[in-house]
Structure formats: C-alpha cells, structure tokens
Structure 1
Amino acid sequence: MTTSELLGQPRQVAVPQGQLRYFEQGAGRPIVFVHGVLTNPDLWRNVVGEIAAAGFRCITPDLPMGSHELPMRPDADLSPVGQADLLADFLDALDLQNVLLVGNDTGGAVTQIMLSRRPERVGGVVLLPSDSFEYFFPPIFRPLPKLARIPGSMLLLAAVMRIRALHRLPILFGWVTKRPVPPEIVESYLWPPGRSAGVRRDLRKLLREVHPRHTLAAAEKLRDFDKPVLLLWGSEEKLFPIRFARRLAELLPNAKLVEVPDCYTFITEDRPEVVARHVVEFAGVMAD
C-alpha cells in the first residue's frame, strides 16, 4: 500500500494563501493532523487508518512548511502567525465544526498560536512533543532563523539535507526518532525544497520568523482555552523535554498528560499504535 493510500483520498481546497493539498479518510467527527517543519502528511501515515476505522474523519493538510507539494501565493504570510491563520482558514474552507486538532513539533506550536487567535472551530486538542514557551525552536535548531535570512541559503540547506550520511545525526532525524525513518519517507520530507523554488520561498518565510515571542504570547492566552487537551509526550524526549509538557498541563485549564516510553519527538514513527489508541480514546471521551 502506498503512502497516499494509507492517508486516504488526496484533495485540494482554496484558502486565501493559495491552493492547499490535503488527504481525507473515514467519516464522523473531524480530526485534523498538523505536521511540523520539513515534514508533511506522511508523518501521520501509520495512525490515520486505524483512527478512521474507529469512526472518525481523518484530515491531514499538506502545510507549507518546506516539504509540501503546492507552493503558496508569493504574497502569502507564512510566518508562525500566518501559518496559524492558514490552519484556521483551512478549517473554515472545509466548514469543520468541533474539530479535534492533533499537532506535533512545529505543528504543535502553530496549533497553540491558532488556539490563541481563532479557536472557535476547535473542540479539543492532542499535542505530541512540540515547540512551546521559550523553546521555539529548541537550541539545536536556533541557527535556522538566521540562516533563512541569507540569500540562497535554502538551496544550500536542501542540498545538505539530501546527504544520507547525515540523516541519523541530531540535526536531522537522530533526535526525533529512535528508529530509522524509511528512505521513501525521508525523501518525501527532504526532497521538495531541492525541487521547487516556491517551496524554498515558503520555507524561508516560516523559518526567518520563528521566535519564542510567538509561543510565549500564545501561552498567556491558552490560560483561557478550557476545551479538553491531551498531552502525549515521550518520557525520553530530547528536543522538547518533558518539563514543557508539565508546564503546559499546569497552564491549560482542562489538560491531561500521558508519558509514552521508548520514543522521541515523532511518536507516530516510534510508537504509532500508542498514538492511534490514545487519540481514539480521547476523541471518544470528548464525544461522550
């Protein structure tokens, strides 16, 4: 079965920022999966099928974070705040109600920012290890915003990322997964910036504006978000230490923290069955 078949039916929808590709599978309450920078819907390929089979409508947008197929309009705001508005615009475009958002990595930060600005369509949230508070980005990736301001840097970055010998280093996949990512998935994540100037432009727009001020400002407003939140965090997490999950659990009025062993940031790669089970259980409790 191909990755696209695992994700469901490929579709497109018009949003103010351009044409956005997404995948859809199943029927029932909508669950929208939000990936992070230099990943795409393939991050969720091992969980959406099981969740859809449990009676939910799984929707995975291909967000403009550097591994996407469709570049956005040249004038689109793709800063962290712009990405949050794009996510809200996507929910509007599909007229989704009482959505369960599931965010990971940069996608978790974008989710937090969106909740602080336009939470009306959201009924609950699952956050996997994500940027938050002063960790946007975590220290190992903090040079990226400065790099993104240098002309031509995204093409150089794309070339470096394609060196296979580097893939298990902490700067790429070494600290996001305990186990090797399949080569075809690595290619889907790291090849698009090298192929498309539009994708590199979109990636640069996001990276150069990443700053903790966005997540710190969102955190202040999250105190008022009273919908249920599940924090599903790796107990061995390297990029986003478990202390950030505990801070979020204390901040959010209706949050629960579950620690998952034997995984790093991309729990969907290391322990997909755990993610699917917890999302299904959480969505079921919300429905009750």
Structure 2
Amino acid sequence: MQGMELSSGPIDYQDTGGDGPVLVFGHGVPMDGAQWRKVVPLLDGYRCILPTLPLGGHRRPMHPGADLSHRGVARLLGEFIEQLGLDDVTLVLNDWGGGQFLLLEEQSRRVARLVLVACEAFDNYPPGPGKALAAVCRIPGGLRLLTQLMRIPAVRSHPKGYGGMSRRGVPDEIMKDWFAPATRSKAIRRDFAKFATSAPGRETLLDWSRQLAGFDRPVLVVWADEDRLMPREHGPRLAELYPKGRLVEITDSSTLVPEDQPEQLAAAIRDFLHQTGAAPSTGARPEGR
C-alpha cells in the first residue's frame, strides 16, 4: 500500500504498475480496493490503481474541514489522478456513483472512459439501506453504536443490509476489515458520518445528472439483474444519458458484481477497452508491484 497527501488529507492506494492503459477504481461505503480483488487479476496488461477514498473504510482520517460530500470526494479523486500525473484514464465505479460528478469538474479532461457498474445514479443517493445509515449518522453516537453492532457477523451479513449486496456473500473477514477503521477511530467515524449525510436534495441530484450528458467519451454501463439497491431501469437510462453509452447486463448478480460475477465483469471491461482504443500492454509488470 502506498500513500499520498492531498489537500483534504492522506489517501492510501494500491498500484499494480506496468506500462499498460490506466484504470482507476472507485469503491463503495465503507469499502476499499478489496472490492476489486477478484477482477484486477483478470485485467493483465493494464495498470490498475485502487485508492481508498474517505468513505468510512479508510485507515487515516482526513483533515477536520475536508469537504467529504459526493462532489467533494469526486474532486478529491480528480486531485489524486492529477497528483499521479495520469492521463487517458478509465474510471471504474461500483456501488458509489458519486465519482461520476468528477465529469462536471475541470479535472475531467484526464478521464478518457467511464465504466459504471451497478452504482448510484440520478436521485438514488443514497440507495435503500443507505438512507437508514444516513439517519443513524445524524444521531449523536449513532454511528459508534452501528459500528459496534457491525462487529457481530450475523449483523454484517444480514440480507437486508450489507449481506444483500452480494448473491455469493462477501467473505466475513473482508467485510469485518471494511468496518474496522470506523470501529476503532472517532476521527474516521467523523469522516464516515460527514460523507453518509452529504447527499443533496432530489432536484440538485437530477440537475447534476442532466449535466453529465455533456461527457462525450465512451461509457460502459454494467448492470446487475438481481440488484435490490440500484433500480433495474437505471441501467438503460444511464446508457442513454451518455452520448457514447452502451449497456451490458449481468445475470445472477446483486450490487457487488465484482464479487458475484468477476469473470463476466472483467470480460465486459476488456471488450470495452479494446473497442475504444485501450488495448492491454504486452510487457511484463515490474517486479514487486
């Protein structure tokens, strides 16, 4: 794991290295790059970069005054891409959809392609149980109590909560690790609550969504057919929103497509990259990366 200091605080990240086209992966709440652990090995020939964004699963707290709204975290992601000096980036998102709002910022010039995998869109911020999470975060001590409850395996895996995000089931040690930072640190809980309660009103979200139609580069929308959090109709609607959007539907999967159908997802991403001028490098990755 490597680290970088940004204007809002430290960001840790993984980087597979190599000279192939660059893919930057976002993640869900309060997850990290482990969300993509089954997919990245199937993308040989690409440089895969996985930042741990301040969505509650990060290990080091952000500055107290950091803007951790959806737009704020999107700008932070753009700053991260700039600091690494990356261009022609393919941005890949799953669950958290706020990374799309980077396209409304000046830093969007570095994004050449977008892959949206079963993620928040339109006015679905936050989706389903996320609304209850936001309500808990507004109660003094509420998030601390929730993170303590999340130490119980049966609570973590409950099908009406995080357990329902995957048909295969996220390994308990992975999910436990996602909640561990907020369980241990008051400052991480502060960041978590700040983000979880940051979604603007419906009209603002829909206005931002309309503006996304100005992104004229290729977009792949990958939607799951058994997703309880992201409405089925949002997949085709997103593909229509973007001028160069295309839709792939994945069967037998819930929100966490990288968990449920990593092979199908990796194949869809590879096909999309080939078709849009980002063929993989044939060179070997550097040792130790």
Question: Structures share a fold, TM > 0.5?
Answer: yes
2:239 corresponds to: 249
Query: What amino acid does structure 2 have at the position aligned with 1:273?
Result: E
Alpha-carbon deviations, 1:123-148, whole Å to 9, x = none? 00100011111211123321222322
Asked if residue 21 in structure 1 is aligned to residue 26 in structure 2, the reply is no
Q: Secondary structure at the match of 1:127?
A: strand
User: Structure 1: which 5+ residue stretches go unaligned?
Assistant: 1-9
Q: Distance in 1 between matches of 2:203 and 2:173?
A: 35
- How far apart are the structure 2 equivalents of 1:216 and 1:162? 36
Q: Is the 8 A contact 1:141 1:171 kept in 2?
A: no
Does the C-alpha gap of structure 1 residues 130 and 60 become closer, same or farther in structure 2, counting only changes over 3 Å? same
Structure 2 distance, partners of 1:140, 1:214, is 21
Partner of 2:38: 46
Q: How has the CA–CA distance of structure 1 residues 178 and 214 changed in structure 2, closer, same or farther, with 3 Å as cutoff?
A: farther
Q: Name the CA distance, whole Å, in 2 between partners of 1:215 and 1:30.
A: 29
- Tell me how large the CA RMSD over aligned residues is: 1.5
Unaligned runs of 5+ in 2: 279-289
Tell me the equivalent position of 2:141: 152
CA offsets per residue over residues 120-174 of structure 1, 9 Å max, x none?
1100010001111121112332122232222222211101222211233244323
Aligned counterpart, 1:71: 61
1:75 Cα offset (Å): 1.4
| Alpha-carbon distance in 2 for matches of 1:199, 1:264 | 28
Alignment of 1:11-160 (within 5 A): 11-27=2-18, 28-51=20-43, 53=44, 55-106=45-96, 109-118=97-106, 119-160=108-149
1:39 CA drift (Å): 0.8
Kindly indicate whether the alpha-carbon contact (under 8 Å) linking 1:14 and 1:20 is maintained by their aligned counterparts in 2.
Answer: yes
Deviation at 1:114, TM superposition (A): 1.1
**Displacement of 1:26:** 3.5
Q: Distance in 1 between matches of 2:114 and 2:186?
A: 34
| TM-score, length of structure 2 as denominator length | 0.91
* Identical columns (%): 37
TM-score between the two structures when normalised by the length of structure 1: 0.91
Is 1:206 the equivalent of 2:195?
yes
2:284 corresponding residue in structure 1: none
Aligned length: 275
